[in-house]
Amino acid sequence: MTPSSTFSLSNVSKVYSNGTVALQDLNLAVNDGQFVSLLGPSGCGKSTVLRIVAGLGHMSSGQLSWSHQANRRMAFVFQEAALMPWATVQNNVRLPLKLSGMGKAASNAAVAEALEMVDLTGFESSYPRELSGGMKMRVSIARALVTKPEVLLMDEPFGALDEMTRSKLNSDLLNLWQQKQWTVVFVTHNIYEAVYLSNRVIVMAARPGRVVADVPIDAPYPRTEDFRTSAMFNHYCRDISARLSQAASHHLQDNASSVRSPNVVDSLV
């Protein structure tokens, strides 16, 4: 573990009770202030990694270690906005502070600040049903930001949004990240999104879930819309795409050879 690393996972495996191997011997160290994307097909265990880091899931073996303080201030953004439909925007954002025992008056300033960060000032008293999908996701992000987290864990947060809303939220998120210098772990299955946002893309493969490549994206920030059409951007996308399909074809070959193997056939009979 390097001195600047925020957390590291060593030899982490996760096996579900039905025998499915979700993760096998995964090693990953994330450094302070990095924007790391976990990229891979569905079923590669990228969300499982995020949940383990958040403390929401247990690992079967291996270790998660945090540097500095034992308890980093973490925030989690889900794929669905996961708002409380009975509460106004303001009260949804206030939730983490309320759960930590902070009073309404004391939390008002932090709530207003978080809503301003995501451009939702003026919608304090709206209910989630009155908002569009993109706006709901902004509320969800504001709720994560209200505790001033050091580590932001995001599980395909923009997966359910249309392309235009997604790219707008991408650049807004990137601007905020540059100002606040959080450590971000971002799960996605979208190569373009991963390359545009991150300074490091972890490519994962499925069955069993594992890391197949660790690609640094050495493009300077701030990244503008022009970056999306640059040669460098294309180069990274092509490289990562090749690594993904390579991992997938290996997996197919492994399967094909194992089926031909007499031992496996015997054990099936």
Partner 1 sequence: MQNPLTNFTAVPDGASPAEAAATFPMGSRLRWLLSADVLAPIVVGVGVLVLWEVGVRLTNTPPYILPGPLLVLQTLVSEWGTLFPSLMITLQITLVAFVAAVVTGLAIAILFTQSKWIERSFFPYAVILQTTPIVAIAPLIILWVRQLVQGQQATFISLTICAWIVAFFPILSNTTLGLNSADHNLLNLFQLYKANRWQTLRYLRLPSALPYFLGGLRISGGLALIGAVVAEFVAGTGGTRSGIAYQILISSFNLQIPRMFAALLMTTGLGVAIFVALTLLSDLLLRDWHESAIKREN
- The site for partner 1 (CB under 8 A) is made up of 54-56, 74-76, 78, 80, 82, 84-87, 95-96, 98-100, 125-135, 147, 161-162, 165
CA distances from 136 to 113, 140, 169, 202, 221 (A): 17, 6, 12, 28, 27
How far the first Cα of the chain sits from its last, in Å, is: 46
| Least distance CB 133 / partner 1 (angstroms) | 4
Block residue for tokens 């090693």: 27
In whole angstroms, give the CA distance from residue 155 to residue 79: 6
| Least distance CB 78 / partner 1 (angstroms) | 5
| Least distance CB 82 / partner 1 (angstroms) | 4
CA distances from 52 to 12, 76, 166, 200 (A): 10, 12, 26, 20
Residue number, 62 or 134, with CB nearest to partner 1? 134
| Least distance CB 249 / partner 1 (angstroms) | 35
Residue number, 96 or 209, with CB nearest to partner 1? 96
- The torsion region of residue 146 among left (phi > 0), alpha (psi -120 to 50) and beta comes to alpha
**Is the alpha carbon torsion for 51, 53, 208, 238 positive or negative?**
positive
Residue number, 86 or 260, with CB nearest to partner 1? 86
The alpha carbon torsion through 239, 241, 246, 251 (nearest 10 deg) reads 150
Residue number, 128 or 208, with CB nearest to partner 1? 128
Residue number, 102 or 237, with CB nearest to partner 1? 102
| Least distance CB 4 / partner 1 (angstroms) | 25
